[in-house]
């Protein structure tokens, strides 16, 4: 009987360990270990440590944290809607692929490893179920989307005579903004999230401030405000940051240029723009820093938040007030920011 009791006890212990291991594996598999930031953060790439890696920092430039660490190029971070994941591109496997990792840098997974194409510039859909990105799978850059698990890949643009890049989902998930040269110049386009009805928003030349004629300005890197009303973008060869209504109207320069202003992204609340520039660089005009502009003020109040003199870019601004909570079992999507505001 004593041996029987001991055997039963051992069996129960083994059963407990088995259940504990299974639960742990399940929690790891569904990503419970990933936590969203509790404050606003900016994800970006930088070579401040000698190689292009993914970092996050507070919106005042403090508390920078390096999330990737390998000899390859890691860039183009994109926050998942709930802030628990970050998608990015990397050439660590030989060609550029789309990866996803936890917001603390753990669990880095290659989503497009089966493709030999050049896959870059991921952007999460607002419901967190899909990722848009650019790929050379057809021999030229097209806009693709895939499930957040890397499955169900679809080509949305499929134009053999153009280069389509830098997709950006609208907050309601119905529209994707992107850059294309299909009309002869790099312009900002929008299309339905199905790929239908592409429309050029910046094809018409306009007169900018300082006597600048915005012809062939190479408009790129669209970024939406959380209400879906405004798109901020960069004019690459003009080195200016611009904003416009979501229908392309009311284009205007966000703030006066003072150096090469580029790689702009707008905060979810539409009040701030983060960008890199070589302002006040003196003779060292390759010294780029990160700036944040408060565009609610006239003129915009601009603050420098980094001081290392290294290139930065591909900014993505996360704000927990605008984060999405997705209950997968019931498919309920709630804007926590609206709840907190009593809407």
- Indicate the pLDDT class of residue 256, thresholds 50, 70 and 90: confident
Query: What is the overall mean pLDDT for the chain?
Result: 83
Q: Based on the fold, state whether residues 21 and 47 are members of the same structural domain.
A: no
Q: How many domains does the chain have?
A: 2
pLDDT one-digit tens code per residue, 25-52: 434 444 445 789 999 999 999 999 889 9
pLDDT at 129: 97
Q: Based on the fold, state whether residues 49 and 118 are members of the same structural domain.
A: yes
Residues 6+ apart with CB under 8 A from 275: 234, 241, 261, 262, 263, 264, 265, 290, 291, 293, 315
pLDDT at 160: 73
Q: Based on the fold, state whether residues 2 and 93 are members of the same structural domain.
A: no
The answer to whether residues 120 and 112 touch, using CB atoms and an 8 Å cutoff, is no
- Indicate the pLDDT class of residue 278, thresholds 50, 70 and 90: confident
Domain annotation covers residue 262: yes
Domain annotation covers residue 35: no
Domain annotation covers residue 156: yes
pLDDT at 44: 97
pLDDT one-digit tens code per residue, 311-340: 889 999 999 999 865 443 334 334 434 433
Domain annotation covers residue 207: yes
Residues 6+ apart with CB under 8 A from 277: 258, 259, 260, 261, 262, 288, 289, 291
CA distance linking residue 207 with residue 20, whole number of Å: 66
pLDDT at 13: 46
Pairwise pLDDT comparison (25 vs 201), residue with the higher score: 201
Q: Based on the fold, state whether residues 151 and 17 are members of the same structural domain.
A: no
Q: What percent of the chain stands above pLDDT 70? A: 78
Instruction: Say yes or no to pLDDT of 262 above 50.
Output: yes
Residues 6+ apart with CB under 8 A from 145: 125, 130, 131, 132, 133, 153, 154, 156, 193
- Indicate the pLDDT class of residue 214, thresholds 50, 70 and 90: low
Domain coverage including residue 69: 41-340
Domain annotation covers residue 36: no
Q: Based on the fold, state whether residues 269 and 299 are members of the same structural domain.
A: yes
Pairwise pLDDT comparison (14 vs 161), residue with the higher score: 161
Q: Based on the fold, state whether residues 26 and 76 are members of the same structural domain.
A: no
Q: What is the CATH number for 155?
A: 2.120.10.30
Average confidence (pLDDT) over 77-83: 97
CA distance linking residue 211 with residue 6, whole number of Å: 89
- Indicate the pLDDT class of residue 218, thresholds 50, 70 and 90: confident
Q: Based on the fold, state whether residues 22 and 154 are members of the same structural domain.
A: no
Q: Of 92, 38, 36, 88, whose CA–CA distance to 67 is shortest?
A: 88
CA distance linking residue 267 with residue 294, whole number of Å: 10
């Amino acid at each position: 009987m004593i041996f029987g009791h001991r055997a039963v006890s051992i069996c129960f212990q083994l059963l407990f360990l088995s259940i504990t291991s299974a639960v742990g594996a399940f929690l790891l598999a569904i990503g419970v270990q990933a936590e969203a930031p509790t404050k606003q953060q900016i994800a970006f790439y930088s070579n401040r440590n000698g190689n292009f890696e993914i970092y996050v920092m507070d919106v005042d430039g403090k508390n920078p944290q390096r999330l990737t660490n390998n000899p390859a190029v890691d860039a183009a971070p994109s926050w998942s809607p709930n802030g628990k994941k970050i998608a990015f591109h990397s050439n660590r496997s030989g060609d550029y692929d789309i990866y996803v990792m936890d917001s603390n840098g753990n669990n880095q997974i290659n989503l497009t490893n089966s493709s030999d194409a050049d896959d870059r510039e991921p952007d999460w859909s607002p419901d967190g179920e899909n990722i848009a990105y650019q790929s050379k799978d057809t021999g030229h850059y097209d806009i693709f989307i895939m499930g957040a698990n890397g499955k169900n890949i679809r080509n949305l643009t499929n134009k053999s005579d153009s280069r389509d890049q830098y997709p950006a989902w609208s907050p309601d998930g119905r529209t994707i903004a992107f850059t294309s040269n299909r009309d002869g110049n790099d312009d900002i386009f929008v299309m339905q999230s199905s790929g239908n009805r592409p429309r050029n928003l910046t094809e018409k030349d306009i007169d900018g401030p300082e006597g600048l004629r915005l012809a062939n300005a190479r408009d790129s890197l669209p970024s939406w405000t959380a209400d879906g009303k405004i798109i901020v973008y960069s004019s690459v060869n003009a080195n200016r940051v611009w904003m416009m209504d979501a229908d392309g109207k009311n284009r205007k320069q966000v703030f006066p240029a003072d150096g090469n202003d580029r790689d702009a992204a707008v905060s979810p609340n539409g009040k701030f723009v983060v960008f890199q520039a070589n302002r006040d660089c003196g003779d060292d005009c390759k010294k780029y820093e990160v700036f944040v502009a408060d565009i609610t003020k006239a003129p915009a109040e601009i603050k420098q938040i980094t001081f290392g003199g290294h290139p930065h870019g591909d900014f993505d601004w996360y704000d927990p007030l605008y984060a999405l909570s997705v209950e997968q079992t019931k498919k309920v999507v709630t804007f926590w920011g609206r709840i907190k505001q009593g809407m």
